[in-house]
Amino acid sequence: MTTNLAVNKEQSGINNTQNTGRIFEVSKHDSSCRARTGVLRLGHGDIQTPVFMPVGTNGSVKAITINDLKEIGFNIILANTYHLYLRPGEEVIEKAGSLHKFMNWDRNILTDSGGFQVFSLSALRKITYEGAKFQSHIDGSRHFLTPEKAVEIQVLLGSDIQMQLDYCSHHGASRKEAEKALDITAQWLTRAKKTWEDSTSKGYNGKLFSIVQGNFFPDLRKKSAEICIEADTPGIAIGGLSVGEPSELFHETIAATAALLPEEKPRYAMGIGTPEYVLSAIEHGIDMFDCVIHTREARNGRVYTREGALSLKKTENRLDFSPIDKECGCKVCKEYSRAYLRHLFKTKEILYSMLASYHNLYFINDLVTNARCAIEQNRFIDFKREFLSRYANGGNHEG
């Protein structure tokens, strides 16, 4: 169907703040590194940064209710354009009034354009300068996603932040492939921005973020960053990371790329969530990040503690009636033991996924909240060192 870019502002719940201009203010810089705190002003409320965004791919964070998300303290979540476009489809969201109304979430939503999902369908897609042709992973039906279409769908969703359609090349790609992906992403950005600007003139208040690509070639990263800066979108994301590269290369690339980006715009590192990667991103001045790892690992029996990751399914937890983490303030750690949670996991009780996912999301939100406090106190590097030393040396909790 063709998306109507005219947005009913009352129906979508989006306020009438200025569509263009600065949406981000830096509050505090840490003097020992590039870490910073700030305020991101969006249509459904202000966001304190740095901020972690839980991933609700299909309009739902797996095993977590919206009340749980609010209770933990999240004011922004991520949903995925590709998945929502395929199911339930544009017509359902349009009839509901917006994704916010459809899922009963009155806070901010960032939507990925679907570029990464198309990238992951290597055998089912073909990418050209016109757009991405792909087959649905659900029923094999054929679709064509253009940068214009990606914007239009996200307008219909009512996204507070929407991402441009981009072409992500895999780790190990040749320079020629990386150059082509960068060039396509740049051309798609020009087209996405024009469609987004047209939509804002019709009442849409969501903000478009451009995406830096370039694979792991420093000069291509620099070129892509310059293209994004020239486009002057409200925010800039760093894409193409955490795609199988060695950790040393990740840290090197995120540091170099973040240093290229303008001070006054929010910086978003896409798809990172481990404590090590999150703290590295914050150290280099990244403001936003997301990942599915916390709920995915929770469902598979792995939870986070200050002493490192813990495998609840191990036999040693069968008679352990202590909480997941004695220092954690979440309701799961206050009310349930490792032994009970292991029992729920072994018996495949749905309650297990709900409780473990809640704890893991609480853990990462608490880590980022404490990182913000450390920056405000001008001691982020010490905080990072202390946390990772304990986290890494907490013993062998894998398995």
Instruction: Kindly list the catalytic residues.
Output: 112, 290
DSSP characters for 259-326?
TTS-TTS-EEETT--SHHHHHHHHHTT--EEEESHHHHHHHTTEEEETTEEEETTSGGGTT--S-S-T
Partners of 289 in the β-ladder: 52, 269
Tokens 């894409």: give the residue: 239
Task: Measure the N-to-C terminal CA separation of the chain; round to a whole number of Å.
Answer: 48
Q: Walk across the sheet containing 36-42 and list its strands.
A: 24-29, 36-42, 45-49
Helices H, strands E: what count in the chain? 16, 16
Question: DSSP assignment, residue 122?
Answer: G
| CA distance linking residue 78 with residue 68, whole number of Å | 15
| CA distance linking residue 381 with residue 31, whole number of Å | 10
What angle is formed at CA 16 by the lines to CA 15 and CA 22, rounded to 5 degrees? Answer: 100
| CA distance linking residue 137 with residue 70, whole number of Å | 32
